[in-house]
Amino acid sequence: MVDEKKLQDKAKETLIRDDVRRLIGWKRSTYGYEAAPAVLTDASQADQLIFDPTCVQNLASFISLEEKKPVARGAEPDTRKIAVMVKGCDSRAIVQQLVEKAYSRDDVVVLGIPCMGVIDRRKAEKLFGETAGQVSAKVDKEKVAVDIEGDVKTVDRKDILMDKCLRCRYPNPLVSDFLLGEEVEKWADDDFADVDDFEKMSPEEKWKHWDEQFSKCIRCYSCKSVCPMCYCVECVVTQLKPQWTRRSTDISENTAYHIQRAWHLAGRCIECMECQRVCPVDIPIMTLNRKMTRDVKEMFDYEPGVDPEGEPMLASYNPQDPEDYIM
């Protein structure tokens, strides 16, 4: 576990640095099973920072969310760094952003946190019901202890952790300037059994499933807004000229949107599962992303967000790539 005092001290130390503009961490939310991201600019605010299994958000998303305001004539642009706290899975987003040259390594200070898993809000609400109170939690190798305003409940890890944590292969940050806390041992592996199961369905069954799911979509674009890899200045789905996807919501446009979204993450998705977590209408978005991840690994032996020196998957090729269906 991470010592919160140590974490806050490190945050203070980082914020005091002249070359750091802001620090992104987590703080206790006003209510419920999920913490809130905290964007700090001053060392005096560092006391509110926390890290526990409620810290589910991938903060790597927030690096690119900050708008670049025009700089006044004669003024120098603010080139100071952004400090960001990352869990193991989140760190892969940073690696992949670096691979894609979204920014350079010198632009960020990465405070890595070894993580033992985070809570799935939906699972927690099923177990303990909704709460208007504040929640904190602790996790060890077997159990998660959830503290709802002093009322502590202990459950098995698999009943409450996010699915991604149950198959987590990178609990320790892959990139970091400072590591807060001891490295933890890897406890799981990923066999993509869910993808295999889905593939057993016939095309008709698959479409029936997606027809129902995509029909629910209200196109709030939270899945793309929260995605750490969706950092395009102008997204193709909101572009008007040419307008690839119409704004109207029907099964045609919704499907096109979701195919586009999944496609743009092929070989880039680092499986932080944020898209699925934020979806207000519970569309199993990760099903598409995981299919891509699995196939990219199988066909091109590529894994995104692991090697900072690597190349983006679709911007590289191997002359021996498979081409079994090409006539």
Footprint (CB under 8 A) of another protein, residues 219-248:
219-222, 225-226, 236, 238, 240, 244, 246-248
Shortest distance, position 219 Cβ to another protein, whole Å? 8
Q: Which is closer to another protein, CB of 183 or CB of 196?
A: 196
Shortest distance, position 318 Cβ to another protein, whole Å? 8
Shortest distance, position 153 Cβ to another protein, whole Å? 16
Footprint (CB under 8 A) of another protein, residues 101-120:
none
Residue 321 makes contact with another protein by CB under 8 A: yes
Q: Which is closer to another protein, CB of 153 or CB of 219?
A: 219
In the list 79, 132, 197, 309, the residue contacting another protein (rule: CB under 8 A) is 132
Footprint (CB under 8 A) of another protein, residues 6-65:
29-32, 34-39, 57, 61-62, 65
Residue 77 makes contact with another protein by CB under 8 A: no
Residue 291 makes contact with another protein by CB under 8 A: yes
Residue 75 makes contact with another protein by CB under 8 A: no
Question: According to the 3-state scheme, what is the secondary structure of the chain?
Answer: CCCHHHHHHHHHHHHHCCCEEEEEEEECCCCECCCEEEEECCHHHHHHEECCCCCCCCCCHHHHHCCCCCCCCCCCCCCCEEEEEECHHHHHHHHHHHHCCCCCHHHEEEEECCCCCCECHHHHHHHHCCCCCEEEEEECCCEEEEEECCEEEEEEHHHHECHHHHCCCCCCCCCCCEECCCCCCCCCCCCCHHHHHHHCCCHHHHHHHHHHHHHHCCCCCHHHHHCCCCCCCCCCCCCCCCCCCCCCCCHHHHHHHHHHHHHHCCCCCCCCCHHHHHCCCCCCCHHHHHHHHHHHHHHHCCCCCCCCCCCCHHHCCCCCCCCCCCC
Give yes or no for a contact between 146 and 155, defined as CB atoms under 8 angstroms apart.
yes
Shortest distance, position 310 Cβ to another protein, whole Å? 15
Footprint (CB under 8 A) of another protein, residues 246-275:
246-253, 255-256, 258-260, 262-263, 266-267, 274
Q: At what angle do helices 251-264 and 286-300 cross, to 10 degrees?
A: 40
Shortest distance, position 327 Cβ to another protein, whole Å? 4
Q: Which is closer to another protein, CB of 143 or CB of 297?
A: 297
The interface region with another protein, picked from 108-116, 130-138, 151-159, 160-168 by CB under 8 A, is 130-138
Residue 199 makes contact with another protein by CB under 8 A: yes
Q: Which two tokens stand for residue 269?
A: 């998705």
Shortest distance, position 222 Cβ to another protein, whole Å? 4
Shortest distance, position 141 Cβ to another protein, whole Å? 28
Give yes or no for a contact between 145 and 154, defined as CB atoms under 8 angstroms apart.
yes
Shortest distance, position 197 Cβ to another protein, whole Å? 12
Residue 211 makes contact with another protein by CB under 8 A: yes
Footprint (CB under 8 A) of another protein, residues 158-177:
none
Backbone angles phi, psi at 12, to 5 degrees: -60, -50
In the list 128, 198, 232, 308, the residue contacting another protein (rule: CB under 8 A) is 198
Footprint (CB under 8 A) of another protein, residues 298-317:
299-300, 313-315, 317
Give yes or no for a contact between 218 and 257, defined as CB atoms under 8 angstroms apart.
no
